[in-house]
A = this chain, B = another copy of it.
Amino acid sequence: MAIFTVMDREKDNYRKLPEKELKLLLIQRGAHPYLGKWALPGGFVRPSETTEMAARRELREETGVDNVYLEQLYTFSDLGRDPRAWVMSCSYMALIDGRKVKLEAGDDADNAAWFSVSYRLLREQKERTEDGYVKTRKHELKLANENSTMIAEIEHTVTRTETSSSSDYAIVSNDGLAFDHAKIIACAIERLRGKVSYTDIALHLMPSLFTLTELQQVYEVILDKELLKAAFRRKAEHLVEETDHYAESAGHRPSRLFRRNWERFE
């Protein structure tokens, strides 16, 4: 399960806004295999559960949070992805408001921590073949913490021939992440980025009251791209609802607080 949240970085200037960071929850493995490596939280599905029930249970155990946005991503079944046995993993993405989570509730010996996420395109390449093309995209996934930094490179290859089309992720290099979790994280980030612009899922990362600038910052850290203020506000109008509250800010005009508006969005 890829559990995302957005948090503020400490602000250095009394009148500057704090920067936002996209965070992912990882767990340091306390057992073999990959002892000591960081992994996505997750576990085995019980025979009396659906995969979604299992995901919600794990989420509750790990973060104490219960009501969140949860979306199935992809089912991974590569051979050898777990050295112990043939394991299929049905991955999920969760979006939560970071303020709600009390970490370290982990009852097992495992160690949970938030990592800031960066996922950048390194190289893009398109090559013609006999009856189609191969497109390769290499991304760098960087997960950082006060204590550790992990970097992985993931290559996404789309092969197209006259009639067929197939897409494949491969881990080129990987340092510190357990299993094929770099792939799963890449998959989650791409889904998140893909959906953020045409749905309202980003609202799940917001507290109940927020400013439009904060919402824009959330979009920006997810997309890793700056957005134009005017255009963003035009679009956000449909997702939010005005309140009469204002953020008593520092050193500049106070900004109006908004709340999510599930009504308006179709």
A79 within 8 Å of B by Cβ? yes
How many protomers of this protein does the assembly include?
A: 2
Main secondary structure of the interface of A (DSSP, over half): loop
- Interface segment, A43-51, A113-121, A148-156, A210-218? A43-51
The verdict on A57 contacting chain B, using a C-beta distance below 8 Å, is no
Bound-state Cα–Cα, A67 to B49, Å? 36
Question: Most chain-B Cβ atoms within 10 A of its Cβ — which of A45, A163, A263?
Answer: A163
Residue of B52, B70, B72, B77 touching A45 (CB-CB under 8 A): B77
Interface bits A29-70 vs B (CB < 8 Å: 1, else 0): 000000000000000010111111000000000000011111
Q: Does A75 contact B (CB under 8 A)?
A: yes
Q: Name the residue among A79, A97, A165 with the largest chain B CB count within 10 angstroms.
A: A165
**Residues A77 and B90 in contact in the complex (CB < 8 Å), given A67-B164, A133-B262:** yes
B90 touches A75 (CB 8 A): yes
Bound-state Cα–Cα, A161 to B66, Å: 12
Query: How extensive is the interface on chain A, given as a class?
Result: 35 or more
Tell me whether A132 is interfacial, beta carbon within 8 Å.
yes
Is A191 among interface residues, defined by CB-CB distance under 8 A?
no
Contact A263 B75 (CB under 8 A): no
Whether A97 contacts B67 in the complex (CB less than 8 A), given A75-B90, A77-B90, comes out as no
Asked whether B160 lies within 8 Å of A262 as measured between CB atoms, the reply is: yes
Q: Which 7 A-B pairs have the closest CB atoms?
A: A67-B164, A69-B165, A50-B77, A75-B75, A51-B77, A75-B90, A67-B163
Task: For the A-B complex with A50-B79, A75-B75, A132-B262 known, give 5 more contacts whose Cβ atoms are closer than 8 Å.
Answer: A49-B79, A69-B165, A70-B165, A128-B263, A165-B204
